[in-house]
């Protein structure tokens, strides 16, 4: 391993150490467990939680909601980005929708969807409303940033559409596709959890956090937060690994 690789490993560890040091010192100064529990306390709580069935049920359901809403956002974004690159009218039709959906206050959407949907659907709907335009914009710009010179070259050599798409377009946009997905997936987790809190979704990390708060069980709340961070991080790593497997040329 080169020095650079060691440093790449070292920096996050240092950052983590600093974070925990600050937490520890703050907890020592404040000395009120309800406001800021000791890190050890939070991890002890996490270890207790991990042994309960409720913990895994909540995580499983939240994860399932994340996957469903993300899959729908991603598929639709991909489809519509491809269509609007091919047909300008689709692009012009979609761009105001995307702008509006970005401008609408998240809270009003949450309240509205609480009226319209069950508490099970609401988190997915909200995550979709925010993640879909983000992914759509990312995919659209990836498709439209394809090097025009290379398209020209392909046409000059009379390469068939099928080969242009399979050997050039798809592999060419793959890296930016994964980059968009990677930043959207952890946002998706956060949105689902936030919406779960507000819509009181049964079997959810959001509601578990809410309950901890009601009982002033701050250590549990932080334990759940750590679980959520680890979940997002693992999802991002999974995407990064997929990218490594699919993109061998960068």
Partner 1 sequence: MKFIDINKSYGDIKVLTDFNLELIDNKINCIIGPSGCGKTTILNIVAELTEYQGKVEREQKGISYIFQNNRLLPNLNVQDNLEYVLSTIEKDKNERMKKIDKILDIVELAQRRKAYPHELSGGMQQRVSMARAFIYPSQILLMDEPFKGLDIALKKKLIAAFLKLWQQDNKTVIFVTHDVDEALLLADKIVLLSPNAEILLNVDIDIERDKRSLSHAKISALRNRIYQNF
HEC string of 200-217?
CCCCCHHHHHHHHHHCCC
* Tokens 């399932």, residue located: 64
**Minimum separation from the CB atom of position 171 to partner 1 (A):** 4
* Cα–Cα nearest to 67, from 158, 148, 185: 185
**Minimum separation from the CB atom of position 168 to partner 1 (A):** 6
Cβ closest to partner 1, residue 154 vs residue 210: 154
Contacts to partner 1 from residues 139-168, by CB under 8 A:
149-150, 152-154, 156-160, 163, 167-168
The three-state secondary structure class of 249 is: coil
**Minimum separation from the CB atom of position 164 to partner 1 (A):** 9
H/E element, 122: helix 122-144
Q: Determine if 60 is a binding residue for partner 1 (CB under 8 A).
A: no
**Minimum separation from the CB atom of position 150 to partner 1 (A):** 6
- Residue 90 has a CB neighbour count (10 Å cut-off) of 15
Q: Which stretch binds partner 1 (CB under 8 A): 26-34, 94-102, 171-179, 211-219?
A: 171-179
Cβ closest to partner 1, residue 117 vs residue 168: 168
- Residues 6 or more apart whose CB falls under 8 angstroms from that of 218 comprise 33, 34, 35, 36, 37, 212
**Minimum separation from the CB atom of position 84 to partner 1 (A):** 23
Question: For partner 1, how many residues bind (rule: CB under 8 A)?
Answer: 18
DSSP class of 232: H
* Residues 91-120, mask of contacts with partner 1 (x by CB under 8 A): ------------------------------
Inter-residue contact 142 to 78 (CB < 8 Å) = no
- Residues in contact with partner 1 by the rule CB under 8 A: 149-150, 152-154, 156-160, 163, 167-168, 171-172, 174, 249-250
């Amino acid at each position: 391993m080169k020095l650079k690789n060691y440093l790449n490993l070292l920096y996050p560890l240092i950052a983590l150490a600093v974070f925990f040091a600050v937490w520890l010192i703050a907890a020592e100064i404040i000395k009120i467990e309800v406001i800021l529990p000791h890190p050890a306390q939070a991890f002890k709580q996490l270890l207790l939680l991990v042994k309960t069935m409720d913990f895994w049920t909540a995580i499983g359901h939240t994860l399932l909601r994340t996957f469903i809403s993300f899959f729908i956002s991603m598929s639709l974004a991909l489809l519509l980005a491809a269509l609007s690159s091919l047909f300008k009218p689709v692009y012009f039709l979609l761009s105001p929708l995307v702008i509006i959906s970005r401008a609408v206050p998240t809270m009003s959407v949450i309240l509205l969807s609480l009226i319209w949907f069950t508490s099970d659907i609401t988190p997915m709907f909200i995550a979709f409303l925010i993640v879909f335009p983000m992914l759509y914009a990312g995919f659209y710009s990836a498709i439209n940033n394809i090097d025009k010179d290379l398209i020209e070259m392909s046409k000059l050599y009379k390469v068939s559409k099928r080969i242009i798409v399979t050997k050039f377009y798809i592999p060419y946009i793959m890296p930016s596709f994964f980059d968009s997905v990677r930043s959207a997936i952890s946002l998706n987790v956060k949105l689902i959890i936030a919406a779960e809190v507000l819509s009181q979704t049964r079997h959810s990390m959001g509601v578990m956090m809410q309950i901890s708060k009601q009982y002033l069980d701050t250590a549990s709340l932080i334990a759940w937060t750590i679980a959520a961070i680890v979940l997002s991080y693992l999802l991002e790593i999974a995407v990064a690994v997929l990218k490594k497997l699919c993109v061998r040329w960068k």
